[in-house]
């Protein structure tokens, strides 16, 4: 039986021709494609500045550094995320202080933030999980009251909107990522988006070995920097993807709608929870993660996933809570039970195959496999 993959990039002849054109020039890096790509992201998001880098993780790291966060500082964030949103703090010896999440969205629960604030808290690092923006109407006043910067990890949310405003632009700085399973891809890549001239300038300098951004003295380094540059080859790929963004997002939304329709019966009969947008939110569909009935254990979920894989349906457990990762347990002393909502979502979630070209027939196959696997496990 043919396997249905979990994710798959949507690459057309446009992408291939843009990349091929760069390869016909000598400018494979530091050429014109990077600023062109940055402008395309700026137009799509309304952000004043866009700084392209070689990964979403690099973008997060540069934001943390450009805010001057360091040892002794704390940043409040979510344990229900991809590990990079927390690792970027550890890079700078900043302590991640986890706060549990809203069971509907998996985003940080605003009602729990204030209890975690200490005199050392400097920022809130908010993740727009699975392309659903967090609750900024509740988060922003808390940040303002306590004079905390909001960093938005919108690596999974390019194209999402909150009250009409683009995800990524809700705080002092945000970021997107372009690994091949994201809404658009550059192979590897990411961007910082910000309204702040200072943050943008620092990020431009730090991505390029700490060079000054106004001079052209190639060997003048004004601060500690990195090589986090995105090449023109990658940027050209991203540029073609950005030109097709609306189509790509619409195709993803259509697949999500197909799943919602096909799985509504299972939701009713087996208590399976389907992803859905809260009011005032436009999801940008990154993955399609369903949750098995409340009370389902890790073991039961893993057996369902094993059966799905036997039937040729690729799937994954999004997310395995960050606070329970071995080195986080060791570093921060976390244990099971510390963040019960995160752990419940982590125990019950299954990411189903999700990509633009998933057909209605394949959606039907996934749905049937899911029904029979859940019945076999009895959860």
Ligand X SMILES: *Cc1c(COP(=O)(O)O)cnc(C)c1O
- Least Å from the CB of residue 110 to ligand X: 18
Residue 357: active-site member: no
The percent helix, strand, coil of the chain (3-state, each to 5) is: 40, 15, 40
Q: What are the tokens at 248?
A: 């790509």
CB of residue 136 vs ligand X: minimum separation in angstroms? Answer: 16
Among the listed residues 37, 98, 179, 355, the single contact to ligand X using CB under 6 A: 179
| Binding segment toward ligand X, per CB under 6 A, in 2-10, 41-49, 152-160, 235-243 | 152-160
DSSP 298: H
Does 45 bind ligand X (CB under 6 A)? Our answer is no
- Distance, CA of 80 to CA of 224 (rounded, Å): 31
Q: Which is nearer to ligand X, 190 or 238 (CB)?
A: 190
Q: How far apart are CA 123 and CA 41, in angstroms?
A: 25
- Rule CB under 6 A: is residue 190 a binding residue for ligand X? yes
x/- map, 339-358, ligand X, by CB under 6 A: --------------------
The pairing of strands 74-77 and 149-153 is: unpaired
DSSP state of 133: -
Q: Which stretch binds ligand X (CB under 6 A): 150-158, 202-210, 310-318, 369-377?
A: 150-158
Shortest gap between Cβ of 101 and ligand X (angstroms)?
13
Q: Which of 15, 41, 50, 56 binds ligand X (CB under 6 A)?
A: 56
What is the DSSP code string of 59-99? HHHHHHHHTT--TT-EEEE-SSS-THHHHHHHTTTPEEEE-
Question: Going residue by residue from 60 to 89, which x/- string records binding to ligand X, judged by CB under 6 A?
Answer: ---------------------xx-xx----
Q: Measure the CA–CA gap between 237 and 17, rounded to whole angstroms.
A: 9
Q: Which of 95, 122, 145, 182 is catalytic?
A: 182
Measured in degrees and rounded to the nearest 5, phi and psi for residue 194 equal -160, 155
Task: Write out the residues near ligand X by the rule CB under 6 A.
Answer: 55-57, 81-82, 84-85, 127, 153, 155-156, 177, 179, 190
| Catalytic residue positions, numbered | 182
């Amino acid at each position: 039986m043919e396997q249905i993959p979990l994710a798959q990039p949507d690459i057309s002849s446009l992408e291939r021709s843009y990349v091929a054109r760069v390869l016909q020039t000598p400018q494979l890096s530091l050429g014109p494609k990077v600023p062109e790509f940055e402008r395309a992201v700026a137009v799509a998001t309304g952000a004043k500045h866009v700084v392209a880098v070689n990964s979403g993780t690099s973008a997060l790291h540069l934001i943390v550094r450009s805010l001057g966060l360091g040892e002794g500082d704390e940043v409040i964030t979510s344990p229900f995320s991809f590990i990079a949103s927390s690792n970027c703090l550890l890079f700078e010896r900043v302590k991640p202080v986890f706060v549990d999440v809203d069971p509907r969205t998996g985003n940080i629960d605003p009602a729990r933030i204030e209890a975690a604030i200490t005199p050392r808290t400097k920022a809130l690092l908010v993740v727009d999980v699975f392309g659903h923006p967090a609750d900024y109407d509740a988060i922003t006043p808390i940040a303002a009251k306590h004079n905390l910067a909001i960093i938005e990890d919108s690596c999974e949310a390019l194209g999402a909107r909150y009250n009409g405003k683009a995800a990524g632009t809700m705080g002092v700085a945000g970021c997107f990522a372009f690994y091949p399973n994201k809404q658009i891809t550059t192979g590897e890549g990411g961007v910082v988006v910000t309204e702040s001239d200072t943050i943008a300038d620092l990020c431009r300098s730090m991505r390029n070995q700490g060079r000054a951004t106004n001079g052209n003295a190639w060997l003048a380094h004004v601060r500690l920097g990195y090589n986090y540059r995105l090449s023109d080859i990658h940027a050209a790929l991203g540029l073609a993807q950005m030109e097709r963004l609306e189509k790509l997002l619409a195709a993803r939304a259509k697949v999500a709608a197909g799943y919602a329709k096909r799985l509504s019966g299972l939701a009713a009969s087996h208590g399976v929870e389907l992803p859905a947008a809260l009011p005032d939110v436009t999801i940008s569909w990154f993955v399609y993660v369903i949750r098995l009935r409340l009370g389902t254990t890790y073991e039961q979920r893993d057996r369902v996933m094993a059966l799905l894989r036997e039937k040729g349906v690729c799937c994954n457990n999004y997310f395995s809570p960050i606070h329970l990762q071995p080195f986080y347990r060791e570093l921060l002393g976390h244990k099971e039970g510390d963040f019960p909502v995160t752990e419940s979502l982590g125990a019950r979630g299954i990411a189903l195959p999700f990509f633009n070209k998933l057909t209605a027939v394949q959606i039907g196959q996934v749905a049937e496999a899911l029904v029979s696997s859940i019945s076999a496990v009895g959860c």
